[in-house]
Structure formats: C-alpha cells, structure tokens
C-alpha cells in the first residue's frame, strides 16, 4: 500500500502492548459509542415489536431535557461538552502513547484546504444521504427521524450548532482517528480496520432503522478510506459538522412547512 504514510504506526511490536490496547479499546468504547451501539440496537428491536410499521414511527435525536428553558439550554450544552470530552479522550490516549496529534491529521497546518475538502465531503455524503433516507423511509425500512424537537427559543440554533460540533468531533476522532490507529497497532489490515470502524458507526445509528444503519456504514467506509489515504482528520470533523448543522437546524426551520419531509 504505497499511499500509506511511513510515519504512521502499523503494528505494536510487543504482545503485552497489544493486550493493553485491547483492554483500552474495550474501556473507551464501553463508556462512549460502543454501548450507544448496543442501546441503539435495543431501541430498533423495540420499534420492530411495536404494532405499527417503522415508517409510521418517529424517533427524535435532540429533545428537550428540562421544563425550564434555560435549564434545558444548559443541559444541551452539557451534552455537547460530554461529546467533546469523548473525542478528547481518544486524542489524549494517542498522545499519551507517544503519538503526535499531527500523526492522525489533527494539526493546523492547512486549515483552508481542510475546510474546502470538508465542504466537498459534506456535499458528497449529504445529498445522496438525504435521498437514501427518504427512499428507505418510503420503503418502510426506516423510522421518520426528527433531528430536533427543541422548542422555538432564541437559543435553539446555538444549541443545535454546538451539538453538531460535539457529535462530529466525538465520532470522527474516536471512530476514525483513534480506532483505526489502534487497530493498525493490533496488526489488522487496512480493509479489516475500515470495516470494523464503519460497522461501529452504523451500529449506534440503528435506532433510526435499517436505512440509518446502512447509510452510516457507507459514510464510515468513505470517511475511513479518506483518512487512510490522506491522513487528515479535520476535513472529516468539518464535513460531519456541516452535515449535522444542516440536518438539525434545517429540520427545525422546515418542520411543518414542507410536505416531502417525514
């Protein structure tokens, strides 16, 4: 694989180190996105057991967390902070292992290019992704997804943007930069690591239905391969942020105003 950066870690040399990496992976994903995947599967099973088909059910992503509006705002920000901390944990563990963050593409050497590439990736994933979601819902393979049911308050767009940033940072750092690096150190091939990463990404979107799972697996394959080839993580964080901002804020703006949105 000539496109691999020779400075990237390929495999841990010592069996003891590999054992520690496996334990670390179990712990990290037990407290972050791994258990989210199991919970998402249980939510989907519950939806399948309901007396109405998936397409007639609705699942909300960002929901009110308190009756008092300012307390709700504070809780939404805390949720975003938790996501940012999850991503920071993955970056910190790599750094503690002796790896510079530039090794996974988190340096600030080319912000303009990273932003442009991120916008392109967002368009590449977002436009077909919306069409696939609508098709999956029409086919009965997906619930109707409400990205936000927050009230119409002054802070709603602020909270949704911050939550989009938190989601993007947590997922791309953990599921791409951190996980794929650790899987390399365990000796997995690039393709095997890519499949594991993409399936994990799809797993914690199972609550949306089979369409949500498949759509996010495809996104994981595209994002993971991009990182493997470019070693740039910021474009993925930017792309994911843009996707979620459009989904969260756009849904809040269009809800009840267009007929084609479930």
pLDDT value of residue 12: 57
pLDDT tens digits, the chain, 262 residues: what are they?
Answer: 334 443 454 555 588 899 999 999 999 999 999 999 999 999 999 999 999 999 999 999 999 999 999 999 999 999 999 999 999 999 999 999 999 999 999 999 999 999 999 999 999 999 999 999 999 999 999 999 999 999 899 999 999 999 999 999 999 999 999 999 999 999 999 999 999 999 999 999 999 999 999 999 999 999 999 999 999 999 999 999 999 999 999 998 887 788 788 8
> What Cα–Cα distance (Å) separates residue 42 from each residue in 20, 71, 99, 121, 179?
30, 29, 37, 31, 24
List the chain domain ranges. Answer: 55-254
- H/E stretch holding 60 reads strand 58-62
Cα–Cα distance, 201 to 259 (Å, whole number): 30
Q: Residues near 194 by Cβ (< 8 Å), separated by ≥ 6?
A: 180, 220, 221, 224, 225, 228
Q: What is the CA angle 74-27-10, rounded to 5?
A: 115
Token readout for 183 is 């899987």
Helix/strand/coil for 142: strand
Q: Please report which helix (H) or strand (E) contains residue 84, including its range.
A: helix 69-96
pLDDT at 11 (0 to 100): 55
Cβ pair 252, 160 in contact under 8 A: yes
Predicted model pTM: 0.93
Q: What is the pLDDT of residue 2?
A: 38
């Amino acid at each position: 694989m000539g496109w691999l950066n020779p400075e990237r870690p390929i495999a841990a040399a010592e069996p003891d180190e590999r054992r520690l990496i496996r334990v670390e992976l179990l712990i990290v994903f037990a407290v972050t996105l791994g258990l989210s995947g199991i919970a998402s599967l249980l939510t989907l099973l519950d939806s399948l057991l309901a007396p109405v088909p998936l397409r007639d059910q609705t699942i909300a992503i960002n929901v009110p967390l308190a009756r008092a509006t300012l307390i709700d705002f504070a809780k939404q920000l805390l949720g975003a902070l938790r996501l940012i901390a999850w991503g920071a944990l993955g970056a910190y563990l790599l750094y503690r292992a002796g790896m510079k963050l530039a090794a996974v593409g988190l340096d600030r050497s080319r912000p303009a290019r990273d932003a442009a590439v991120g916008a392109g990736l967002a368009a590449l994933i977002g436009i077909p992704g919306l069409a696939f979601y609508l098709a999956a819902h029409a086919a009965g393979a997906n619930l109707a997804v409400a990205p936000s049911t927050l009230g119409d308050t002054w802070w709603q767009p602020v909270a949704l943007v911050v939550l989009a940033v938190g989601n993007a940072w947590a997922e791309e750092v953990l599921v791409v930069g951190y996980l794929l690096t650790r899987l390399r150190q365990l000796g997995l091939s690039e393709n095997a690591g890519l499949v594991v990463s993409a399936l994990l990404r799809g797993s914690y979107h199972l609550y949306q239905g089979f369409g949500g799972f498949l759509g996010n697996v495809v996104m994981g394959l595209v994002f993971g391969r991009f990182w493997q080839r470019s070693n740039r993580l910021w474009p993925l964080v930017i792309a994911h942020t843009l996707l979620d901002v459009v989904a969260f804020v756009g849904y809040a703006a269009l809800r009840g105003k267009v007929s084609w949105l479930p």
